[in-house]
Amino acid sequence: MEQLFSKITKADTYATYVNPQWVKLMDLLEMNVQYEHCTGAELLTKDGRRILDFLSCNCVMNMGHNHPAIIQAVKSELDLRGPTMLPNHVPPMAGLVAEKLCHQAGGKLHRVYFCSSGSEGIESVIKFARAHTKRSGIIHAQGSFHGLTCGALSLMDNHFWKGSFGPFLPDVSTVSFNDLEALETKLAARTAAAFIVEPIQAEAGVRLPQENYLREAQRLCERYGTLFVLDEVQTGMWRCGPFLAAQHYGVEPDMVVLAKALSGGLVPIGAVLMSEKISNSVFGSIERCMIHTSTFSENALGLRAAAASLDVLERERLGEKGRIQGEKLRHKLSGALTGFEMVKEIRGLGMMTGIEFQAPRRFGIKVSFETFKAIHPGMFGQVLVMRLFADHGIIAQICGNNFMVLKITPPLIITDEQIDHFVTSIKTVLRQMHDSDISWADAVGIARRALLSKMF
Ligand SMILES: Cc1ncc(COP(=O)(O)O)c(C=O)c1O
């Protein structure tokens, strides 16, 4: 076992058998370190560094890494030696978790379909919406991120992700986020089965909905017979304060997709919450009771982890704690970063925050900024991420569909001291990037090494 472990921790084995380009990128950004022990918001590396997680694996670790209660639940499920997966069986734990989810969600959401990831949840809502409405069209919002399977990818407009993977689903149309007129024009054709939207577009740059946007969108969907579906894969599970961001914005979706934080980062699981009517349209007879499923749907370990995660988040009141700490974080960031010309806006809800940057106006740094942006549009953000990691031991990430926004999504348990460390660190890095060429030298280094390894 020891021998096997020492072999699997070697990055070169990964590069040989899994993905050499990923290893190259991690090396390039000087982030290719081995983690030994992760608890709460802290990650200990093999060489003794303490790293603070301000990303939470894109909103997976809402309760922090390796929460002891969730680990215990998974261990005891394994010790039971019960039916981990049994096709001819009604698993009581699925009923219990579904009941908890529906109870927390409220509104029209009375039935649950379990799956194993966010993308699979999106694939499911596309099918369910079509079965229920007998229409084929799907409307999505520009800038969205819904996952990288073919159906989910069809609902995204960023060419980077779609590239060579087409053709995609027909009858899909895109509207600008926050544009109700465009939405109504599409809906008025009465061919759309669903409007699928993230309540806050995380990867588009932590884009918040305008006052009334989601409520009006729901009303318009109802008027034209289209289902109003929320992708809460990042925003749900108390990330934005309440259980669902929908509850903050006062909307009642017909379906909601959850995944990521649903099982505390330990076992893959996702869930589609829907109305009884939709569920009946899909699974409405004995003949159709398994018309949509997948092998790991309702597996005992995932469900047990989900039950424990829901318990922890609720019992420790992490939504409320995250909301308070998130407001503190934005308040402190606003105080610390005013005056930096590259900082355009700090925005967010609950424990999801974005810092939007803009091109500098001063000649000296403007030239460096534009030069490196021309090499790769994400260069500015990557330098920032690199410096935060290398000099301050912080993991953060720029948004997948907007390289000018740093997404800050630490676990909901983040402390005042950890927030202070983050704020001081980002202020220091930004000061360096505004005042000197030191940080831009990193960009030169990245560009040189990347060009040498033909990455751009
Ligand atoms: C909003 C949103 N929806 C769907 C997905 C896809 O989830 P998964 O990666 O679990 O397939 C993601 C993944 O990051 C996401 O952020």
Largest CA distance in the chain: 70
320 C-beta neighbours (distance < 10 Å), count: 14
What is the pLDDT, as a whole number, of residue 380? 84
- For residue 72, is it within any domain? yes
Can you tell me the mean pLDDT for 208-234? Answer: 98
307 and 379 within one domain? no
276 and 201 within one domain? yes
pLDDT digits (tens, 9 = 90+) for 84-109: 988 889 999 999 999 999 999 999 99
Q: Which domain holds residue 212?
A: 68-315
What is the pLDDT, as a whole number, of residue 365? 76
- For residue 11, is it within any domain? no
What is the pLDDT, as a whole number, of residue 356? 97
119 alpha carbon – ligand 1 mean position (Å): 6
86 and 49 within one domain? no
153 and 287 within one domain? yes
251 and 395 within one domain? no
- For residue 170, is it within any domain? yes
**Residue 62 CB–ligand 1 contact under 6 Å:** no
Residue 335 clears pLDDT 80, i.e. is over it = yes
Burial class (CB in 10 A: 0-12, 13-18, 19+), 216: middle
Higher pLDDT, 364 or 356: 356
- For residue 226, is it within any domain? yes
From 120, 144, 146, mutation site for ligand 1 pocket: most ligand atoms within 8 A of C-beta: 146
State pTM to two decimals: 0.95
**Residue 236 CB–ligand 1 contact under 6 Å:** no
Q: How far apart are CA 79 and CA 87, in angstroms?
A: 21
Higher pLDDT, 454 or 257: 257
137 and 264 within one domain? yes
416 and 278 within one domain? no
Phi, then psi, of 282 in degrees rounded to 5: -90, -50
What is the pLDDT, as a whole number, of residue 436? 63
Residue 132 clears pLDDT 60, i.e. is over it = yes
What token pair was written down for 282?
């899909």
Confidence of residue 369 (pLDDT cuts 50, 70, 90): confident
pLDDT digits (tens, 9 = 90+) for 294-312: 999 999 999 999 999 999 9
Least confident of 202-206, 355-359, 430-434: 430-434
Residue 440 clears pLDDT 70, i.e. is over it = no
157 and 85 within one domain? yes
The one-letter amino acid code at 412 reads: L
What is the pLDDT, as a whole number, of residue 382? 87
Kindly list the distances between the CA atom of residue 361 and the CA atoms of 134, 242, 426, 442, in Å, as whole numbers in the listed order.
53, 40, 20, 21
- For residue 28, is it within any domain? no
13 C-beta neighbours (distance < 10 Å), count: 11
246 and 141 within one domain? yes
The one-letter amino acid code at 297 reads: S
Can you tell me the mean pLDDT for 413-441? Answer: 88
Residue 142 clears pLDDT 90, i.e. is over it = yes
What is the pLDDT, as a whole number, of residue 378? 81
What is the pLDDT, as a whole number, of residue 139? 98
293 and 166 within one domain? yes
Confidence of residue 219 (pLDDT cuts 50, 70, 90): very high
What is the pLDDT, as a whole number, of residue 278? 98
98 and 225 within one domain? yes
DSSP E strands, 106-176: 111-115, 137-141, 172-175
Average per-residue pLDDT in the chain?
93
H or E stretch at 300:
helix 300-315
Residue 221 clears pLDDT 70, i.e. is over it = yes
The CATH number given to whatever domain includes residue 400 is: 3.90.1150.10
Instruction: Tell me 152's DSSP state.
Output: H
Final residue belonging to a domain, choices 259, 290, 315:
315
Residue with tokens 């529906």, as numbered in its chain: 102
What is the pLDDT, as a whole number, of residue 372? 74
R_g over Cα of the chain: 22
DSSP symbols for 6-26: HHHT-HHHHHHHT-HHHHHHH
DSSP E strands, 136-254: 137-141, 172-175, 192-197, 227-231
What is the pLDDT, as a whole number, of residue 368? 75
274 and 223 within one domain? yes
Q: Which atom of ligand 1 is nearest to the CA of 147?
A: 6
**Residue 258 CB–ligand 1 contact under 6 Å:** no
Final residue belonging to a domain, choices 287, 315, 343:
315
What is the pLDDT, as a whole number, of residue 438? 56
Residue 388 clears pLDDT 70, i.e. is over it = yes
Query: Are the CB atoms for 430 and 340 separated by under 8 Å?
Result: yes
Query: Are the CB atoms for 97 and 73 separated by under 8 Å?
Result: no
H or E stretch at 345:
strand 343-349
Proportion of the chain above pLDDT 70, given as a percent: 93
Final residue belonging to a domain, choices 315, 349, 367:
315
- For residue 247, is it within any domain? yes
The CATH number given to whatever domain includes residue 291 is: 3.40.640.10
From 59, 260, 269, 397, mutation site for ligand 1 pocket: most ligand atoms within 8 A of C-beta: 260
Q: In terms of Cα–Cα distance, which of 251, 257, 255 is closest to 213?
A: 251
Query: Are the CB atoms for 375 and 447 separated by under 8 Å?
Result: yes
- For residue 75, is it within any domain? yes
Q: In terms of Cα–Cα distance, which of 47, 26, 28, 25 is closest to 36?
A: 47
- For residue 248, is it within any domain? yes
230 alpha carbon – ligand 1 mean position (Å): 12
Proportion of the chain above pLDDT 90, given as a percent: 84
Query: Are the CB atoms for 219 and 231 separated by under 8 Å?
Result: no
pLDDT digits (tens, 9 = 90+) for 64-85: 999 999 999 999 999 999 999 8
Q: State how many domains the chain has.
A: 2
Q: How far apart are CA 242 and CA 132, in angstroms?
A: 28
Q: In terms of Cα–Cα distance, which of 390, 421, 387 is closest to 406?
A: 387
From 140, 196, 198, 234, mutation site for ligand 1 pocket: most ligand atoms within 8 A of C-beta: 234
Query: How many contiguous H segments (helices) and E segments (strands) does the chain have?
Result: 19, 15
Q: How far apart are CA 61 and CA 413, in angstroms?
A: 10
